[in-house]
Amino acid sequence: MKKQKNKLAGLQKRKAISGYLFIAPFLIGFLAFMIKPLCQSLYMSFSDVQLSSGGFKFVWRGLFQYNYAFRVDPTYTRLLTEEITRMALYSVSIMVFSFFVALILNQKFKGRALVRSIFFLPVILASGVILNLDSENSLMAAVAQTVEVNASATSGITDALQTILRTSGVGVRAFEKLFEIIDNIYDVAISSGIQIIIFLSGLQTISASMYEAADIEGCTKWESLWKITFPMVSSLFLVNWIYTIVDFCMRSDNKVIEKITTYMNVNLNYGLASAMSWAYFILVIAIVGVSSLIISKGVYYYE
């Protein structure tokens, strides 16, 4: 104790105190509105919440709610696996797409500012309720259906390509996934605004002299992409990966989240809703943790 006091004497101690004062709002908010609800919801997930006029009380039920969510509820497990696979698929394609677009936008051409602002527009327009409305838009779905019906008669170039690739018989399932992404390229494009900006800022910090030197040594553009650009922005891959996954988990058109919200608001089954959200949350944290560990092995830090 005394040693601790000595260690933080004088100015250092004062700075430590003012540091705590600066982050005090965060600390208070964190303890009151994050830790307390978090613990409570964890407790709730192990119990039955009974609402009454005077308040609420918990009845300890052990693992009952989890058991119910995974083994009794007809759709939860299916939705969970669907969402997780969708997340993996989309996160990868968002990463590839945003890196590719950032590479293009980093080049010099006329109207670059305009294109950049268009690509960034979805960050503003496709957030919150509006994104939700777009995905629920039944007219779009109806139109897409009619287009599909009509298209089967007069198939376009993409359909022709798809049939050729399907009949080739090699890696059909992989192709199916690819087609799914291509069909939903709009979703990918509108959810990669922030990632593009982050990649762009990374690309701009790479000094041009590096490319020049490589060029003089006889390095082709393709080689310098893999030997210079890729390692230099590799730390941003980690940032973007985490951001993409988190963003995806919190999107309002997420089926699991929708289900949880229904259980909470309509059925008032707080215990089950908490159990479901905890299971989902832990799964997501595990995925973020494992994948970022793998990625961070490949990250190269220049310094």
Partner 1 sequence: MSKVKTGKYTNFWERNRKSGGYLLRKTVMGYGVSICRFILLFGLCFLILQPLLNKISVSFMTEADLYDPVVVSIPMHFTTENYQMAAGFMSYTKSLINSLVIALTISVLQVAMSTLAGYGFARFKFPLKNFWFACVMMTILIPPQVISTSLHLHFRYFDVFGLFKLITGSTLNLRGSVIPYYLMSAGCMGLKNGLYIYMIRQFFRNIPKELEEAAYVDGCGTLMTFIRIMLPDAKPILTSCFLFAFVWQWTDGFYSSMFLGDISLLSIKLRQLPDSLGGYIGNLLGSTTAAIVSVPYNNCILATGTLMVIVPLIILYLFAQKGFVESLSSSGIKM
Site string for partner 1, 253-292 (x = CB under 8 A): ----x--xx--x-----x--xx--xx-xx--xx--x----
Q: Extract the tokens encoding 236.
A: 């941003």
Q: Extract the tokens encoding 160.
A: 């022709």
Note whether 300 binds partner 1 by CB under 8 A.
no
Judged by CB under 8 A, the chain residues 122 through 141 that form the site for partner 1 are 122-125, 127-130, 132-134, 137-140
d(CA 150, CA 59): 57
The answer to whether 189 and 97 are in contact (CB under 8 A) is yes
Judged by CB under 8 A, the chain residues 156 through 215 that form the site for partner 1 are 185-186, 189-190, 194, 197-198, 200-201, 204-205
CB closer to partner 1, 67 vs 281: 281
CB closer to partner 1, 77 vs 137: 137
- State the nearest-atom distance from the C-beta of 296 to partner 1, in Å: 9
Number of residues in contact with partner 1 under rule CB under 8 A: 91
Note whether 144 binds partner 1 by CB under 8 A.
no
Region from 146-154, 158-166, 206-214, 238-246 binding partner 1, contact rule CB under 8 A: 238-246
Note whether 302 binds partner 1 by CB under 8 A.
no
Region from 20-28, 65-73, 84-92, 150-158 binding partner 1, contact rule CB under 8 A: 20-28
CB closer to partner 1, 228 vs 295: 295
Residue 91 neighbours by CB under 8 Å, 6+ apart: 241, 244, 245, 248
- State the nearest-atom distance from the C-beta of 41 to partner 1, in Å: 4
d(CA 157, CA 147): 14
Cα-based distances in Å from 232 to 65, 94, 191, 291: 47, 19, 24, 20
Convert 80-100 to b/e letters by CB count within 10 Å (16 or more is b).
Answer: beebbeebebbbebbbebbbe
Ordered DSSP codes for 68-126: IIIIISSSHHHHHHHHHHHHHHHHHHHHHHHHHHHHHHTS--TTHHHHHHHHHHHHHHS
User: Residue 209: which H helix or E strand, with range?
Assistant: helix 208-216
CB closer to partner 1, 55 vs 169: 55
DSSP 22: H
Residue 260 CB neighbour total at 10 angstroms: 22
- State the nearest-atom distance from the C-beta of 89 to partner 1, in Å: 19
Note whether 235 binds partner 1 by CB under 8 A.
yes
- State the nearest-atom distance from the C-beta of 245 to partner 1, in Å: 9
CB closer to partner 1, 9 vs 170: 9
Task: Candidates 56, 96, 182, 223: give the one binding partner 1 (CB under 8 A).
Answer: 56
The answer to whether 93 and 302 are in contact (CB under 8 A) is no
